[in-house]
Amino acid sequence: MSCYETIADYAFRSLGFGERLLPRSDFTLCQHFVLIGSGLIWNIYFGTVALLTGFILAITMALGKASTQPWLRWPAEGFILLFRGTPFFIQCFFAYFVFLSLKGSYAFFDSFTAAWLGAVIVLFLNTAAYSGEIFYGALRSIPKGDIEAADAYGLHGWKRFRRITFPTMMRLGWPAYTNEAIFLFHTTTLVFFSGFPARQQAGDALYYASYFADKTFNPFVPYPILAFYFILLTLCIIGVYSLIGRRLNRHLPQETRAKFRFRPQLIR
């Protein structure tokens, strides 16, 4: 079987299209590359959706935590503590079984036990907590002078937030948020190992990598391929985020811009 046929058969295997049966023996390098790459679609989907939705909740949480009103501050603090203080792996298991028991009682929760929705919800809450903490830190480190200048110009309330506080918060928090985005994508590899079933063996990149490793008993081929894909993905994320970061910093001289530093934080 040529590599073109493999691509035709397996390129979208992770979404349920193409050949149903996974290869069982005589694995070729091409099959490794195509199937693991096919699984990567899931990782990109999980990461992108969770990041986009989580961003809004993260801003809310950051503002809530910085609020002077206790009834706003405590829920935000509790939320951030809960999701940052427990392992994502356990959160996923817990959420899956909660959805499973809800599904028994209400038909509405039918699709929540599937990874495409259930896992995205957990990832969304998780990234909202982590990035909420980042933006809270950024909010606290806004220079006093900026706020005073806004006051002097007569800006207050929503206008001051939109014109001064929010852009500065984004600018200061952006390097840390880039790291958060990278590790969110890495975290997505845990989803199919934590309760959420991979229906018809349609899983993510790590799912297929461990499938190959189990079948061939040779970890030295699939995992480096997975690593290769993720390094590419990481580079893409850094590229996109530094474009946005550059736009956020466009009014500043080069040296004073907050620089992105790659800081690995491993599992959450």
Partner 1 sequence: MFEYCTDPQELEGLTWLSCYLTTGVHFLFYWAFGKVLLLLAIAAPSALAFGFLGAMAARSLIAPLRWFGKAYISVVRGVPDVAFFLFFVIALDQFFEWTRHQVKCPDWDQPIRQGNDFLVCPAAKLPLNTAPEWQHETYGFLLAVLTFAIVFGAFAANVIFGAMKAVPRAQMETAEAYGMTRRQSFWRVMVPQMWVYALPGLSNTWMVLIKATPLLFLLGIEDIVYWARELGERRTARFSDYPHEDWRMWYFLALLIFYLGFTLLSETVLRRLQLRLSRGQATAAGEAQRKTAK
- Considering the complex, state which of residue 35 and residue 150 has its C-beta at the smaller distance from partner 1: 35
Q: Is residue 127 close enough to count as binding partner 1 by CB under 8 A?
A: no
Distance (Å) of CA 78 to CA 72, 73, 154, 199: 10, 9, 35, 35
Q: Is residue 186 close enough to count as binding partner 1 by CB under 8 A?
A: yes
Residues 262 and 113: their CA atoms lie apart, in Å, by 34
- Residue count at the site for partner 1 (CB under 8 A)? 43
Place of tokens 């940052």: 84
Other C-beta atoms within 10 Å of 116: how many? 16
**Smallest distance from partner 1 to CB 194, Å:** 9
- DSSP calls for 225-250: HHHHHHHHHHHHHHHHHHHHHHHHTT
Q: Which of residues 232-251 bind partner 1 (CB under 8 A)?
A: 234
C-alpha 239, offset from chain centre: 16
Of 15-23, 44-52, 139-147, 219-227: span binding partner 1 (CB under 8 A): 219-227
Residues 133 and 66: their CA atoms lie apart, in Å, by 10
Q: Is residue 260 close enough to count as binding partner 1 by CB under 8 A?
A: no
CA count, 13 A, side-chain hemisphere, 142? 20
Of 88-96, 121-129, 148-156, 169-177: span binding partner 1 (CB under 8 A): 88-96
**Smallest distance from partner 1 to CB 246, Å:** 22
Which residues contact partner 1 (rule: CB under 8 A)? 25, 81-82, 85-91, 93-94, 97-98, 100-101, 186-187, 189-190, 193, 206, 209-210, 213, 215-220, 223, 226-227, 230-231, 234, 262, 264-268
